[in-house]
Amino acid sequence: MAITPDWAATAPTLVLGATALALFVFDSIDPDSSNNPVLAGIAFVGSLAAMGVSGMYLAAGVGDPAVVLYGGQLVVDGMALFFSFIFTSVTALVTLASYDYLEDLDYQAEYYMLVLLAATGMTLMASAGSLAVGFVALELASLPSYALVAFLKKNRGSVESGLKYFLIGALSSAIFAYGISLVYGVSGSMLLEDVAAGVADTGLAGILGVGVLMVLGGFAFKTASVPFHFWAPEAYEGAPAPISAFLSSASKAAGFALAFRVMVVAFPIGDVVGAIDWVLAVQVLAVVTMTLGNFAAATQENVKRMLAYSSVGHAGYVLIGLAALTGAGNENIVLGAGMIHLLVYGFMNTGAFLFIALAEYWGVGRTFEDYNGLAKKAPVACVAMTVFMFSLAGLPVGGGFLSKYYLFAGAVGAGVWWLALVGAINSALSLFYYSRVVKAMWIEEPTGDVQVTSYPTGLYVAVVAAAVATVALLPALGFFSGTAFDAAAALF
């Protein structure tokens, strides 16, 4: 479906940006205000509107054919809109949950502005048609994230995590930028399609190979893949819990959105493999990432830190979407499966971190033992957390079961059955540490005297909504799977 004028195809990005500006105007009029309902309402309605536009565009077929803007610098197609739906749905849940989390904190307008500006950068990352736009969009998404991690200014852990995240992020951005410069030097262009044409017959295979590796390293940082994952456990543990949810779900999906487009369009397998077999590199990256992430998560006693390492493991699963591009003819199935897993992961992982925010609101600690007997005092919330845990493990209680099935089946179809085997073994391992949370909540006897005296509206609704969406995606994933496979096929 065509849309007129062309710039209207970027409506999700424009809505998020306009909402951030509206918050800025409101705060400039009354800078000392901590009017939580108004600020949270503006942010939530804006992100919900952007999600609605993204979903409407997807259902209407906008982006097929792709809408090309500014000479190819921006490309709005099915994949861009699919990822925009993921970003905006996570942003809506996070802004809703933050209503209660920020109840007694200052700088609330700045908090919501930073969240929406980061989401704006993420939507631009999904639509980037050139390496230059991809880099600028990545920085727009990253810079607000550094401040959000360090938002709890009186909390030493939060400030320390923000500083570490910033330093590692600056290093990875430098690596990414230098990789882009090498690719530009070889191809003579920043546009992804022109890069593909420029590297087809290059005599500078060594320089190109180094450039591709450095670009891949930049993506590994953004997706918290090994060996660039060190920032994730620190940042997720020190950040406000809603921001941990935002970074581990939306920010990770944004990194993959840009990686999928750049690696597939700019560095086609047949043309670049002479310089460097990046598919083999991603295969190694996927195995190491999912294995290290799951084994590290299994050794944790802190639930929030366990989820942080778990998110590293899930990055390894999604990397199968690139690692299985072996030329077997099912490229759209494999890449689409990665997109589908990120959609489901956006709800179940966001919900899990928001449950931790809810537990923190009640004064519950962060260890597994602190969760003992919590189901007796908050059964509805604990049912939601049980859904998140089992769906993350790949059991058929939520969409995580089908999304992992698509990924592993795609790997087998691509001839890399051993990737699916490693993924299945890691999923089995993950059931061990996910079930520890469920066991603590439902089976163990309470060890402390935690009183659940109130039910924060925003947090509770966000957790329940994420659980409902996770369960609903099990039977409804067929609608999104067709869209994801078609969007992935358009890249090849």
If you average pLDDT over residues 13-24, what whole number do you get? 95
Question: Would you state the structure tokens that stand for residue 386, as one six-digit string?
Answer: 């049980």
Q: Binning pLDDT at 50, 70 and 90, where does residue 35 land?
A: low
CA distance 306 to 32: 38
If you average pLDDT over residues 331-354, what whole number do you get? 93
What is the reported pLDDT for 47? Answer: 96
Q: Taking a C-beta distance cutoff of 8 angstroms, is the pair 458, 98 a contact?
A: yes
Task: List the beta bridge partners of residue 30.
Answer: none
CA distance 195 to 131: 9
* Sign of the four-CA dihedral 325, 331, 333, 337: positive
What is the reported pLDDT for 80? Answer: 94
Q: Binning pLDDT at 50, 70 and 90, where does residue 43 land?
A: very high
CB within 8 Å of 204: residues ≥ 6 apart: 185, 186
What is the reported pLDDT for 294? Answer: 93
If you average pLDDT over residues 341-367, what whole number do you get? 91
Task: Choose between 63 and 274: higher pLDDT.
Answer: 63
CA distance 427 to 322: 19
What is the reported pLDDT for 2? Answer: 63
Q: Binning pLDDT at 50, 70 and 90, where does residue 271 land?
A: low
pLDDT above 80: residue 272: no
What is the reported pLDDT for 15? Answer: 96
What is the reported pLDDT for 132? Answer: 94
If you average pLDDT over residues 198-223, what whole number do you get? 84
What is the reported pLDDT for 409? Answer: 92
If you average pLDDT over residues 200-220, what whole number do you get? 83
What is the reported pLDDT for 345? Answer: 95
Residue written as tokens 């209207």? 8
pLDDT tens for each residue of 75-114: 999 999 999 999 999 999 999 999 988 887 888 889 999 9
Q: Binning pLDDT at 50, 70 and 90, where does residue 342 land?
A: very high
CA distance 470 to 354: 14
Q: Which of 187, 183, 234, 231 is nearest to 210 (CA)?
A: 183
**pTM (two decimals):** 0.94
If you average pLDDT over residues 481-485, what whole number do you get? 88
What is the reported pLDDT for 472? Answer: 94
pLDDT above 60: residue 273: no
Q: Taking a C-beta distance cutoff of 8 angstroms, is the pair 394, 401 a contact?
A: yes
Question: What separation in angstroms does the CA of 411 have from each of 40, 69, 356?
Answer: 42, 34, 34
pLDDT above 90: residue 421: yes
What is the reported pLDDT for 12? Answer: 95
- The dihedrals phi and psi of 74, each to the nearest 5 degrees, come to -120, 135
Residue type, 227: P
Task: Choose between 28 and 120: higher pLDDT.
Answer: 120
Q: Taking a C-beta distance cutoff of 8 angstroms, is the pair 250, 346 a contact?
A: yes
Residue type, 465: A
What is the reported pLDDT for 405? Answer: 93
What is the reported pLDDT for 479? Answer: 83
If you average pLDDT over residues 60-75, what whole number do you get? 89
**Residue 432 CB neighbour total at 10 angstroms:** 12
Question: What separation in angstroms does the CA of 445 have from each of 42, 139, 372, 373, 386?
Answer: 42, 47, 6, 5, 17
Q: Which of 21, 45, 40, 18 is nearest to 112 (CA)?
A: 40
If you average pLDDT over residues 427-452, what whole number do you get? 86
